[in-house]
Structure 1
Amino acid sequence: MPDDVDADGLTVGQVSARLDVTVRALHHWDEIGLARPSLRTAAGYRLYTAGDLERLHRVVVYRELGLGLDRIGAVLDDSTADVPAALRAQRAQVTERIDRLRRLGDGLDRMIDAHERGLLLTAEQQAEVFGPRWDPDWPAQARRRYGDTEQWQQYAERSASRGPEEWRAVADAVTDLDRALADAMDAGVAPGSPEADRLVERHREVFASFFPLTRRMQVCLVRRYEADPAFAAHYDGIRAGLATWFRRIVDAGARAHGIDPDTATWE
């Protein structure tokens, strides 16, 4: 520290400005005995000597390194303290914190990408997971259409934590559900029956891989499956008439829960 401290000492305000430390912190360090001023004016005001300033400088350095005040006091006052060991321990903590922040940064990058892209898979990975009929431009189209909705945000949050294997599990669950729907229709399962209702609930559970699906939202979605040519072609390609049968079992399930399918809205 500079040795130009006046022989009469420096005031708290002067030390605060010199070391860029708040007056409140200086008062606190004085109260706990970490760095006390050696002098007092006749009026009782604190005055710091050059030696006091040197100790304060060390307190500031160690605090910036992340040491707690108790640990700083031990380092400064205990002649037997192993200062290098204390600093190595602090460095290990800092390294761990840096690693944790780096992982957090990586997670934030993935979350940003998921919100902007939807699906964090290459075109080749998408084809491998979802099959050759999958169009890798579909996620971008969905982003343009639904990017400002709560459901897109929920979908992005799920997508950020998924790689190819996790998405493959989702795709397999969808395929298994489609097969179960087709088998149930072939078996003559009636809308409103317990078996049909279980399939309706299974659809909501599987769809939760993308975002939570309320019963009213499910009605709207499945009606779109029937009305939209692309969706209808998918279901009717599995079994002729499957899109309409699927809509009927969802409508029946909604009525059982007091929902009028004809007036259901996306909520």
Structure 2
Amino acid sequence: MDIEQVPSGIDASRAHPARRYDYWLGGKDNFEADRESGRLVAAAFPTIRMSAIENRRFLHRAVRHLTEEAGIRQFLDIGAGLPSAGNVHEIAQEIAPESRVVYVDNDPIVLVHARALLNSSPEGRTAYLEADLNDPEHILGLAGVHETIDLSKPVALMLLAVFHFMVDDEAAHRIFRTLRERLAPGSYIVFSHATSDDLAGDPEEHRKVNNMSGIPFRVRTSAEVAEFMEGLELVEPGVSSLPHWRPNVPERERARPEDICMHGVVARIP
């Protein structure tokens, strides 16, 4: 993206998670700061692009499961990132055209592209809102949320690859609880997070690289990921490496956990 095309209010000199993720997925809606941050991380973790792709595939499988098998028709995707092939509403509405989806992200450029690219089925509805996960009460109070979905009925809350940007454990758990407590019984939470369980090399070196990348980052163990899910009913196979969560390809074709270093889980609110 040319610097002349930068929408008002966007700081193209600082890397942003949504645009860096777009870079790793091979997108074009990113700036040099995002690419530099992405290259720096890739130098220390060469399979980062594969990890981003597997995170996307996990999203696809989770949405399909929730729509086909759990009967979910409402989705709230926070930290949704830039639109790319296989968005939540595309998968859900292919199965159930009446599905409704709210996307939330804190990068204004995401909103610009989403409004131009995201089209709902006639029977369903989508909305794309600019807000920050660090203020969950604000998100839950947005008119655009309540105009699109009904929080008194089951919703799938999508939190993919966003909580590892919350380095403060206390704040992360507080935000998670705030969102969880506002969801109706029978709702689901889809969660993915960078993990240190399968990470090769020196953890301290990886921390240094993350600090240098310009985006605060905190890997957590699978046990720490499971702590977020306490009191919830885990969908089989529970907390697992992304390629191993309900895979739809033969084992020989699956990515290795050590190449992905991300865990995912789908949990039901009883």
TM-score (normalizing by structure 2) = 0.23
Q: TM-score scaled to structure 1, two decimals?
A: 0.23
Whichever of the two has the greater Rg, that structure is 1
Q: Which has the higher contact order (CA 8 A, sep 6+)?
A: 2
Which has a greater percent of strand? 2
